[in-house]
Chains A and B, each alone.
Chain A
Amino acid sequence: MTRQKRSRSRLKRAVAPYLYLSPSLVIIGLLMLLPMVTVIGYSFQNSAVLRRDPSFAGLKHYQAIFADPVFWASLGHTLYFTCMSVVFHMTIGMIFALMLNSDRINPILRNILRVLYILPWLFTAVIIAVIWRLLLEPNGVVNSVLIQLGIIGSKIEWFSSPETALHAVTFANIWAGYPLFMVSLLAGLQGIPKDFYEAADIDGAKAYQKLIFITIPQLMPIIISISLLDFIWTMQVFPLIWITTGGGPIYSTEVLSTYTYKLAFSSYNLSQASASAVVILLISLGLTLFYIRYQKAR
């Protein structure tokens, strides 16, 4: 083979992988990067979209958002909503996974429970929102049960009173989201060798010690990666809140996603909406980088 030929075949081999990648790169570029860059562009323009030749606005829209108390309230609600959701998703998912994995429970009952516990996962956000609106109506099931049990004295307007609305949507989201943890942790539990527990039995470990010293450390990689993913997803939840409370009453359930949506499609302030969207993007980006770093480190 001549030198020229050889170097050409080497070039071919170097280029080939990128050729295979190119279709997906083009699609990602068109559908994700382009809109992202456009939105970032909008956030620096006056009257973006609405005018043909918008002028450069600098950081004006960001300043407007940061000066808006509703934005800060939304950020706070988002954090509360997200943190509570992730913590309870994990706790409930863990408890249910441990129950389903325990051989002290009858196998038939275990199979029934497995189906029941996974049900919330089968519903889309819209159906979950409708279900909980019906359940939490002033004349709904939840109120009547609680009154029957004597836990509350009078009917509570869960979604329409500012004191309870945020807790109510958080609760609905917790209910909707724990199965992911449950399923992942159950798979993890089934992967822990039985020997580990038998060795611990011989060494005299009590049930809680086995949980602390074996089960949780063994599940740690799953707990961390699913928590991070859940955090990223929950921060951006929109339909559940939009359909149950729409961010109200009096902004009490306003989160970053509803806040942005309203700026864009109620106030038609697309520039400020873009700025708000960029803020969400930056927060998500930070978390995602953290997640990728963690995945790489493993």
Chain B
Amino acid sequence: MAEVILENICKTYGNNFRAIDQLNLSVEDGEFLILVGPSGCGKSTALRMIAGLEDITSGSLRIGGVDVVDMPPKDRDIAMVFQSYALYPHMTVSENIAFSMRLAGKPKAERKKRVDEIAKILQLTSLLDSKPANLSGGQRQRVAMGRAMVREPAAFLMDEPLSNLDAKLRVQMRAEITSLQKQLGVTTIYVTHDQTEAMTMGDRVAVLKGGVLQQVDTPKRLYESPVNAFVAGFIGSPSMNLFEGTLKGDELIAGSFAIRLQDAAFVRRPGLRSYAGRKIVFGIRPEHLYDSGLESGRKYQTLPAKVTSIEELGSEHIVHLKIDAVRVDSGDPDAVQDFGMASNAVAKFEPESAVHSGSEIRLALDDSKLHFFDPETHLAI
């Protein structure tokens, strides 16, 4: 019975910087919630406020039904896994794991029993007497998890716990943490700026930008129906392509090409008709763009594009393209760097694609997968 409920939480730092603005979030008992957003958007601040390491400027915070705003961290019944793991180098693995029990004055036998239990779950049994300095990154990560688990807290808070691991290990630990969370059933709030972690690990994902919550939803719904251009651009890798266009009747005009929209597009979005004759922002994910020379691209409308560069990843080709349209910035600071001057669109082609750098191609586009946003507010239509 430990849901975490944030109501109108604000955080203003000493220098009058507002890091979190009116955050409302409710995490159900046993839920795995991911808090994601670009660097500096206030993820850590939010998590540290829940932990009690940072004062809450205004708003209410309840953990398991108890108002904890004025409680010190230790009374909040939470455990935290730090990005740096914060393992004590002078203590052995078992001392690290048992630290909170030792502070609480639990007898040695009880401590040992609990540490052994946890070591078994985390496969640390043979390492209990080692010092953290002698462990690998993944092992340290597991010790940090063990230290959080030992007290059976009402909620786990994790701040980018995998960011110090190499790519392969990160994939492995991602799966381990997810299955561990399911096994323990403890409410978990997990901060990351890695959108792959966000999409694969959580029950729900909360997207934060500039201290303001954008959308909270399941990964699938976040991917399929982002509420605004920022979420659309942030979720998914590579990012969604966003362009300026004009709606004329059934046609979407951008630069020198036009895309005919099907009736279904208007049926699904009653508001879309009202943009007739006006500017609009439209988006298409790289995976919904195809090489028209391949079988998969045959059935779609095409538009002219020039290939500027190709990243061959084996299972797919990431193709950078230049098309005749004005690119729109989603507002994600991390995404801007993907684009040089030469290209303004990214597509994911199948590895059979024979396009090469510099060639003029016809780009096929699945128009049923288009997203539309208001040009001013960037809200989804």
Residues on A close to B: CB < 8 A? 193, 195-196, 198-206, 209, 213-214, 217-218, 220
Contacts and interface: CB of A to CB of B under 8 A. Distances in A.
B84 A201 contact: no
Given A196-B88, A213-B99, A218-B90, A204 B104 contact: yes
Contact of A201 (B73, B89, B91, B99): B73
Given A203-B74, A209-B103, A213-B99, A193 B90 contact: no
Contact of B73 (A196, A202, A218): A202
Interface stretch (B75-83, B201-209, B272-280): B75-83
Contacts of A217: 88, 90-91
Contacts of A214: 88
B167 to A, nearest CB: 24
Given A195-B86, A218-B90, A203 B51 contact: no
B1 interface: no
Given A198-B53, A198-B86, A217-B90, A203 B99 contact: yes
A204 B100 contact: yes
B304 interface: no
A217 to B, nearest CB: 4
Contact of A205 (B80, B82, B103): B103
B72 interface: yes
Nearest to B79: A202
A150 to B, nearest CB: 43
Contacts of B99: 200, 203, 213
Contacts of A199: 80, 82, 86, 147
A264 B84 CA distance: 61
A217 B104 CA distance: 20
A196 B86 contact: yes
A203 B88 contact: no
The contact size tier of chain B is 20 to 34
Nearest to A218: B90
Nearest to A217: B90
A220 B90 CA distance: 10
Interface in B331-359: none
A218 B86 CA distance: 13
A206 B73 CA distance: 12
Given A195-B82, A202-B74, 18 more contacts: A195-B84, A196-B88, A198-B53, A198-B73, A198-B80, A198-B82, A199-B82, A200-B103, A201-B52, A201-B53, A201-B72, A201-B74, A202-B51, A202-B53, A203-B74, A203-B147, A204-B104, A220-B90
B141 to A, nearest CB: 14
Chain B interface, >50% SS class:
loop
A86 to B, nearest CB: 23
Give the most central of A193, A199, A204: most B CB within 10 Å. A199
9 contacts: A193-B84, A193-B86, A200-B99, A200-B103, A202-B73, A204-B103, A205-B74, A209-B103, A220-B90
A206 B105 CA distance: 12
Contacts of A198: 53, 73, 80, 82, 86
Nearest to B85: A195
A201 B18 CA distance: 25
Give the most central of A196, A202, A213, A217: most B CB within 10 Å. A202
A206 B102 CA distance: 12
4 nearest CB pairs, A to B:
A204-B74, A195-B86, A203-B100, A199-B86
A84 B118 CA distance: 47
Interface in B198-232: none
Interface string B142-173: 00000100010000000000000000000000
Nearest to B48: A198
A60 to B, nearest CB: 52
Nearest to A203: B100
Interface string B89-121: 111000000011001100000000000000000
A193 B51 CA distance: 18
B81 to A, nearest CB: 9
A220 B88 CA distance: 14
B114 to A, nearest CB: 14
Contacts of B51: 202
Contacts of B103: 200, 203-206, 209, 213
Give the most central of A200, A203, A217, A220: most B CB within 10 Å. A203
Contacts of B79: 202
A193 B86 CA distance: 8
B73 to A, nearest CB: 5
A206 B53 CA distance: 15
Contacts of B82: 195, 198-199
A34 B284 CA distance: 85
Contacts of A200: 99, 103
B134 to A, nearest CB: 15
A209 B53 CA distance: 18
A214 B52 CA distance: 20
